[in-house]
Amino acid sequence: MAINVGKDYGALKKVGGNFEPFSNQGQFVKESRDRYHFSFSDAELWQLKTPDFYIVYGDISFKQRQIYFRPTNDLPDMVKLRFTLSGNGTIYNAVNKQHYIFSSNQQNIIYMPQLDGTGEYDTHSNYRFFEVHFAKDKFLQLAENSTRALQVLADHLDAGRYSQMAEQNLPISWAMQNCMQEILNCTYTEGLRLLFIESKCTELLVLQAEAFESDVLKNENSPPQSAYDKDCIYHARDYLIQNIQQPPSIAQLAKVSGINEFKLKKGFKGLFDKSIFGYLSDHKLNYAKQLLLEGIPIKAVAFQLGYSSVQHFSNAFRKKFAVPPGKVRV
Span 151-195, pLDDT tens digits: 888 888 888 888 888 878 999 999 999 999 999 999 898 789 999
pLDDT value at residue 7: 39
pLDDT of residue 57: 96
pLDDT over 90 (residue 10):
no
Could you give the angle at which helices 174-184 and 276-293 cross, rounded to 10 degrees? 10
Q: What is the pLDDT of residue 205?
A: 94
- 95-146: pLDDT as tens digits: 888 889 898 999 999 999 888 889 999 888 899 999 999 998 899 988 887 8
Q: What angle do CA 275, 281, 285 make, to 5 degrees?
A: 145
Residue 223 pLDDT: 59
**Residues linked to residue 231 through DSSP beta bridges, in sequence order:** none
Is the pLDDT at 13 greater than 70? The verdict is no
Mean pLDDT of all residues belonging to the chain: 83
- 257 near 249, Cβ under 8 Å? no
Q: Percentage of residues in the chain with pLDDT exceeding 70?
A: 88
List, for residues 24-53, the tens digit of each pLDDT value: 444 578 889 999 998 888 999 999 998 889
What is the model's pLDDT at position 27?
55
Cα–chain-centroid distance for residue 216? 20
225/315: higher pLDDT:
315
Distance CA 177, CA 162 (A): 27
- CA separation for the pair 122, 87 (Å, rounded): 7
207 has pLDDT over 90: yes
Top pLDDT among 209 and 2 is at 209
pLDDT higher than threshold 80 for residue 219: no
Q: What is the average per-residue pLDDT within 78-91?
A: 92
In angstroms, the CA 30 to CA 50 distance is 7
* Confidence grade of residue 18 (pLDDT, cut at 50, 70, 90): very low
Q: Residue 131 has what pLDDT?
A: 96
Backbone torsions φ then ψ of 304, nearest 5 degrees: -60, -35
Confidence of residue 15 (pLDDT cuts 50, 70, 90): very low
Give the pLDDT score at 305.
84
- 200 confidence band (pLDDT: 50, 70, 90): very high
3-class SS at 88? coil
Q: Look up the pTM and report it.
A: 0.64
Residue 264 has pLDDT above 70, yes or no: yes
- pLDDT score of 22: 45
Q: For the packed helices 250-257 and 261-272, what is the interaxial angle rounded to 10 degrees?
A: 90
User: Given this model, what pLDDT does residue 50 score?
Assistant: 87
How many CB atoms are closer than 10 A to CB 234? 20
